[in-house]
Structure 1
């Protein structure tokens, strides 16, 4: 019987099928739109084009998720947390 190990890097980034959640949501929206295109157009070329579109989108999103530094503009937390007064103005009355 095959044993599965729990995914312990959940704080790092949650992934589904190797994609971050936002990319996975984009992929699922593309799949739903593709299904609508297939339902309302009965041509073989549309089915092949939609399949190739989804494969290409998945490949592009996979490469973008590997290069995560592309969209990382600033950190979540400030670099230093301090109680030091940052301005010369004195708001307290003496």
Structure 2
């Protein structure tokens, strides 16, 4: 009988088909876009091209998903955190 191991690290990093959720969404958008393209302008070359493009994109996303530090664009936290209360008068003064 086959045994299945319980996946207990879901809080660490959720994966769908080996990709983080955000990259999986990007992959599915590409697949849906290529399907719509193939359906509305059917060519056999386009079908193979879309399949190959989606396969290459999946391979690239797998590589990028294994090295998430390369995908960071900016800082997570601001340089200064303040507990100063913001009122409506202050926001109008800043705008003018």
Root-mean-square deviation (CA), in Å?
Answer: 2.0
- Equivalent residue number for residue 6 of structure 2: 6
SS at match of 1:11: coil
Q: Runs of at least 4 residues of structure 1 off by over 2 A?
A: 71-77
User: How many residues in Structure 1 have an aligned counterpart in Structure 2?
Assistant: 78
Structure 1: where are the runs of 5+ without partners?
A: 78-94
SS at match of 1:42: coil
- Equivalent residue number for residue 51 of structure 2: 51
Deviation at 1:11, TM superposition (A): 1.4
State the structure with more CA Rg: 1
- Say which structure is richer in helix: 2
For normalisation by structure 1, the TM-score amounts to 0.73
Structure 2: where are the runs of 5+ without partners?
A: 78-96
- Equivalent residue number for residue 60 of structure 2: 60
For normalisation by structure 2, the TM-score amounts to 0.72
